Structure 1
Amino acid sequence: MNVTEYIASGILESYVMGAVSDQERREVDCLSSIYPEIKQELEQLSASLENYALLHSIEPPPQLKASLLQKLTFEEQEDRPEPIVRPMPVEPTSRPTFQVTWIAAAAVGLLLLTFSFFLVSRLNNEQQTVSSLQSTNSSLQTELRQLRDRQQRDEQVLALLRQPGTRTLELRGNEKAPNGDILLYWNPQNQQVAVEVRSLPSLQPDQQYQLWSLVNGKPIDAGVFDGGNAAPYLQRLNRPIGQADAFAITVEKRGGSPTPTLSTLLAMTPVGS
């Protein structure tokens, strides 16, 4: 059996994500107990997926559940009892009198007025229900689009994490960018670098953020990227980086600079062991 081809087939990623059949699951369990390379790859994938989930975990706001339940709960319209109309006792006569005719007409008019009020009230309630449903549907559509965007972003990040040797580093902004937050994905084996901008302010049109790799104190251009809400979620940089003692971010002119501008240094983090 070619273990390398089996690992590259993608079945181990599907196994970690729980997207395999029972037969495929038994097959992976069996092969992982036979081949140490497969078992090691499974452990690396599980650790990467767990690390990614911890980095992206977001507590939902406590009022979200109550808000959804309130939107999706519709009280049933209570049945309004029809008024009971009892005929007025009249003395038996040989023919209807004017008083009896007037009372009968008033009773019919009252019944029609009550029924009309019921219809108007019911129509208003139905219109409010339709409006509430439309608002709820719009909110659910927005949440669905957000979930689809998040799923697409997660798939892009997972494609990086399942590459053997990929490392994840977090760069926090200094006093010049206190809210800065960037995730760096670096693979020393294939020398690929990508950044996930979680929080960085927008720059002037003629400026860009530039990533630097520090090797023995010497800065090496690792590529430029954009920040702000309009920036892509995951940006792959076009500079091969095989070695790094640390990574740093500065603000430079659009297109990058051959040397870093230390006065615009926003973040730095060591690579570690």
Structure 2
Amino acid sequence: MNVTEYIESGILESYVVGAVSEQERREVQCLSSIYPEIQQELDQLALSLENYALLHSVEPPADLKSRIMAELTFEQSTEPIIRPMPVDFTTDRPTFKASWIVAASVGLLMFVLSFFLLARLRSNQDSLAKLQNANSSLQKEVTQLKDQQQLLALLRQPGSRTVALHGNEKAPNGDMLVFWNPKTREVAVEVHSLPALQPDQQYQLWSLVGGKPVDAGVFDATTANQQIQKLRRQIDRADAFAVTVEKRGGSPTPTLTTLLAMANVDA
């Protein structure tokens, strides 16, 4: 993401004065928590707005309240005041033709105005749809960036290991990576290519310790290649890692007939 272009887009100014949508507000808050440059720009804009308001503030005159109260005088009257409505009988009444022309002109004007407003509405809807699509793409980029940051944090820790798993004859094009840190016991997978499964199935990672399988967590073969998935299980020991196909949610023991890949940690 280009932080400079985002700051220069004008959305931060709109956010400070409250002229953004709820989705845009969440977007700015999310990005400002990730990028210190955006948070710094928001602080400067807020300070500038506060200084501008203080600079142009005007103290009302001291006698303003008394002058207003003096103008608010009410006279009570027990009898209603009735005034005749002036009627000028000397003026000729408008003819039917003139009235029809006026009505037709007003109708035409309303039609043109309605057409103009409808065109503006469609244009605004198109612009809103484009902004929503752009915002959705930006959110996906932020999610991917967070995933990459988690991976980098895992890989930068001392002792982190990367194990490449390749599919057997049941998944000849299978390809994925396992990231594991014995000290933090964190495990993550990066799927490059795995066969699609039924909705009630999931892939399950196993840690082999002394030949015995230990559940390392379940994951999906996502359509977005190279999407990192951090597993919820923690593994402190592993001689090898293996992948099987299990029912959704995982299984306490591996189904050996669905074994797709296996690799030693030190291979």
TM-score, normalised on structure 1? 0.45
